[in-house]
């Protein structure tokens, strides 16, 4: 499947999620969905899906949230997962049980011509922080919602509140150059950390009653499979994986040992619990 043509300013993200980033998420899908289960639980509780709801899952990736929601909106509801990543959407289509009211579309949410006023709820698990022009994206998505429509999504808070991502990165930095500095508004996992920024984007895109709830989490990066699984997760997800991209095997091996040294003292049984912190953002169309 060819990558979609999207907003010109999203070209880098389209390349990334159809290249190494998307491949890694697709290959790690099962582990990733276990790791992020605490996020899904918190998010779905806030969404409160019910039979008949029509939902858009933005940046649905390999489809875990879309599938969980489709199971809850039966029989008359519907879930549309939208994503720019061909490899991740292919995985979502493989995983989706037949018979659910669920479809996926390979498209940039910024420009996709959604059915106007066709949906009740816009949701996302970490799929909205990669828009280069977030006001344009959220305004486009707002047109897909009914006047009674709601928004509920999860995004990461500041890097300092997310040791699951930053501690392995510091260990990796002993071996590779630092990633190019990210501006606070550059697309990326932490682009929605600022409460003020998120409020501003959603208000400018026309939403009302924007609220942000801090939810602190414990993420078992070993997913119950011991130290080596935790080391593998640490190297394959988050900014540490980006920092290691393109480096030779011996450098990766040395970085791996530093990550192992970091995580070994944190092992509890077969788990390696690290803390994380997210916002659950809610808003209304009117
Ligand atoms: C961190 S992943 C999260 C995936 C999935 N929601 C999950 O929790 O497993 C971010 C996702 O957002 C998607 N994405 C980024 N920009 C997008 C855009 N403009 N339109 C649609 N999807 C986008 C990426 O392709 C990727 O699948």
Q: State both tokens at 175.
A: 């071996």
Burial label, 141 (beta-carbon count in 10 A; 0-12, 13-18, 19+): buried
**CA distances (Å), 279 to each of 80, 155, 193, 204, in order?**
23, 5, 8, 19
Q: Please count the helices (runs of H) and the strands (runs of E) in the chain.
A: 12, 7
CA 13 – ligand 1 centroid, Å: 9
| pLDDT mean by block of 10 residues, the chain; 286 residues | 88 94 94 96 97 98 98 97 98 97 98 97 98 98 98 97 96 96 90 97 98 97 97 92 94 97 98 98 98
* Neighbour tally for 111: CB within 10 Å: 16
Give the rounded distance of the alpha carbon of 259 from its chain centre.
23
CA 181 – ligand 1 centroid, Å: 22
Q: State both tokens at 75.
A: 């029989």
CA 109 – ligand 1 centroid, Å: 10
Looking at residue 3, its pLDDT comes to 86
Looking at residue 7, its pLDDT comes to 92
The conformation of residue 271, written as its DSSP 8-state character, comes to B
Q: Which residues contact 67 (CB under 8 A, 6 or more apart)?
A: 92, 95, 96, 97, 100, 102
Q: Which domains does the chain have, with CATH numbers?
A: 8-160+182-219+278-284 (3.40.50.150)
Contact yes or no for 43/123 (Cβ under 8 A)? yes
Residue of 17, 68, 152 with the most ligand 1 atoms within 8 Å of its CB, for mutation: 17
Q: Which residues contact 38 (CB under 8 A, 6 or more apart)?
A: 217, 218, 219
* Neighbour tally for 16: CB within 10 Å: 18
């Amino acid at each position: 499947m060819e990558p979609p043509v999207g907003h010109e300013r999203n070209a880098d993200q389209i390349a990334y999620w159809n290249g190494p980033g998307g491949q890694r998420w697709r290959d790690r899908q099962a582990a990733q969905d276990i790791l992020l289960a605490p996020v899904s639980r918190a998010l779905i509780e806030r969404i409160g899906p019910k039979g008949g709801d029509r939902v858009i899952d933005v940046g649905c990736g390999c489809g875990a949230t879309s599938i969980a929601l489709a199971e809850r909106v039966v029989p008359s509801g519907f879930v549309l997962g939208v994503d720019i990543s061909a490899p991740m959407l292919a995985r979502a289509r493989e995983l989706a049980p037949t018979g659910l009211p669920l479809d996926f579309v390979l498209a940039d949410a910024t420009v996709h011509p959604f059915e106007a006023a066709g949906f009740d709820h816009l949701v996302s698990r970490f799929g909205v922080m990669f828009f280069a022009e977030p006001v344009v994206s959220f305004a486009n998505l707002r047109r897909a919602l009914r006047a009674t429509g709601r928004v509920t999504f999860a995004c990461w808070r500041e890097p300092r509140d997310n040791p699951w991502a930053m501690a392995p990165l510091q260990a990796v930095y002993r071996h590779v150059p630092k990633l190019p500095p990210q501006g606070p508004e550059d697309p990326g996992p932490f682009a929605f950390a600022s409460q003020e920024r998120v409020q501003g984007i959603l208000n400018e895109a026309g939403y009302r009653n924007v609220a942000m709830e801090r939810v602190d989490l414990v993420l078992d990066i070993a997913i119950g499979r011991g130290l080596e699984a935790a080391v593998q997760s640490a190297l394959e997800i988050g900014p540490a994986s980006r920092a290691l991209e393109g480096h030779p095997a011996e450098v990766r091996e040395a970085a791996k040992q530093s990550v192992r040294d970091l995580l070994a003292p944190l092992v509890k049984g077969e788990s390696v619990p690290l803390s994380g912190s997210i916002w659950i953002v809610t808003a209304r169309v009117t």
